[in-house]
Chain A
Amino acid sequence: MPQEVIPTTINQPTSTVITQPDTAETLWLRVLSPPDEAVVNTPQVVIVGSAPAGAVLSVNDDILLVGDDQHFKTTISLDEGPNLIEIIASDNNGSETSIILAVTYEP
């Protein structure tokens, strides 16, 4: 799966964040960008990742449905300084998994 390069990221991704489902179901969530503790110089950051097709995703206040290609991409506005980005995925069975990123915006 190709990794997208986000030009607003100052420090380079060190690893992909992957979660395991909180149940035995086949729910998973990957965030390709930005990495946790990223420092960016723009007031928005693009969240790129993947999850099973049909999963419901919330990224802070945005709500998405993952398509058949299993990819998702959304843009989140940032305040100056440290920001929390909460990414939650759930499936039709009620399983849930999440990733919390801390991203700092430095103008």
Chain B
Amino acid sequence: MKKYRILLFLILCMALLLATTQAFASPASTQNGKNTPGPNTPGAKATEKANDKATKQAGKPPHGKHENYKGIVSAVDSTSITLTLRDGSSVTVGLSADTRMKFPGPKNSTAGSIESGMKAMVRAIRDQGGNLIARAVMVIPGKPSKIHRVGMVTEYTAGSSITIQDKDGSTYKFALTGETKLLPAERVGALAVGSRVTIIAPRDPATGGVIVKGIVIHPAAP
């Protein structure tokens, strides 16, 4: 009988010890059932940032954020454009009536003006279904839309036209307007037949016209 009481006492002591150990070992789980720091602690903010980062790395940025893609057009029609990106991957973006087209040349371009093989940049946004929809498509030309022509002035009518002959003997005639820039200011008065100049003008007269953007007058040869 005495042994039974001692055994019962030991069992009660062990049960009490076990309960005390559990209570100290997991205070959070006993208080709110979640083993996470509170919302205003640094740990919670770090977790939030990590979750955001993981979401971005998964390739699913939050809805409403713009995504920019630059690549070579591999397919295009009136409803979508597909780019091959630098890393070899492809992205297809939907086109809509609100998609803005930017071309270096003609202003009234449409998706039909885009051809496979062109370099382009697309600014897109995801719709509710996660599909990319283009907000803007910009074609990147292989060469700049302007050209610098260096030569000797052979004809010049201020405010009207200028003709130059380059080092190969080719002649180029351009139109001048009041907006044509002349520089440097200290040599503007020296512009005349025989001056050596650089003309900045549209590269393709068919699309850009022949109006000179600017004329740089070089110093007279010593």
Q: Which A residues have a C-beta under 8 Å from some C-beta of B?
A: 37, 39, 56, 58, 61, 63, 65, 81-84, 86, 88, 90-94, 96, 98, 100, 102, 104, 106
Chain B residues packing against A (C-beta within 8 Å): 66, 68, 70, 100, 102, 104, 121-123, 135-136, 138, 140-141, 143-151, 166-167, 181, 183-184, 196, 198, 200, 213-214, 216, 218
Min distance, Cβ B207 to any Cβ of chain A, angstroms: 15
Q: Are A58 and B213 in contact (CB under 8 A)?
A: yes
Q: Which residues on the B side are within 8 Å of A106 (C-beta)?
A: 66
**Residue pair B100, A81 in contact (C-beta under 8 Å):** yes
* Contact with B148, one of A37, A56, A61 (Cβ below 8 angstroms): A56
Residues in A whose Cβ lies below 8 Å from that of B140: 84, 100, 102
Task: Please tell me if the beta carbons of A65 and B138 are within 8 angstroms of each other in the complex.
Answer: no
- Whether B183 and A65, one on each chain, are in contact in the complex, defined by CB atoms closer than 8 angstroms, is yes
Of A84, A92, A96, A100, the contact of B196 (CB 8 Å cutoff): A92
With A63-B216, A96-B148 as given contacts, are A81 and B123 in contact (CB-CB < 8 Å)? Answer: yes
In the bound assembly, the distance between CA atoms of A59 and B123 in angstroms comes to: 23
A88-B148, A96-B147 given; A82·B216 CB < 8 A: no
Q: Known: A63-B200, A82-B68, A82-B136. Contact between A88 and B146, CB under 8 A?
A: yes
> With A81-B123, A96-B147 known to touch, is A39 a contact of B68 (CB < 8 Å)?
yes
Residue among A39, A81, A86, A100 making CB contact with B136, cutoff 8 Å: A81
Q: Which chain A residues lie closer than 8 Å to B183 at the CB level? A: 63, 65
A90–B144 Cα gap in the complex (Å)? 13
Looking at chain A's contact residues, is the secondary structure mostly helix, strand, loop, or mixed?
Answer: strand
User: How far, in whole Å, are A102 and B214 apart by their CA atoms in the complex?
Assistant: 23
Given contacts A94-B166, A94-B167, contact A82 B102 (CB under 8 A): yes
Can you give 16 A-B contacts (C-beta < 8 A)? A37-B68, A58-B200, A65-B183, A81-B136, A82-B68, A82-B121, A82-B122, A86-B146, A88-B148, A88-B200, A90-B148, A92-B196, A94-B148, A96-B147, A104-B68, A104-B121
A26 CB to closest chain B CB (Å) equals: 15
List residues of chain A with CB within 8 A of the CB of B146.
Answer: 58, 86, 88
CB pair B135–A81 under 8 Å, yes or no, is yes
> Which of A81, A84, A91 is B104 in contact with, Cβ under 8 Å?
A84
Residue of B nearest to A81 (CB): B136
Residues of chain A within 8 A of B184, CB atoms compared: 65
Query: B100, B143, B144, B183: which has the most chain A beta carbons within 10 Å?
Result: B144
A104: chain B residues within 8 A (beta carbon): 68, 121, 123
CB contact under 8 A between A98 and B150, given known A63-B183, A82-B136: no
Complex alpha-carbon distance, A36 and B218, angstroms: 32
| B213 in complex: contacting residue of A61, A84, A92, CB < 8 Å | A61
Q: A61–B145 Cα gap in the complex (Å)?
A: 11
Is A93 a contact of B167 with CB atoms below 8 Å?
yes
Q: How far is the CA of A96 from the CA of B218 in the complex (A)?
A: 16
Q: A39-B68, A58-B213, A61-B213 are in contact. Are A100 and B144 (CB under 8 A)?
A: yes
Return A98 CB to nearest CB of chain B, in Å: 5
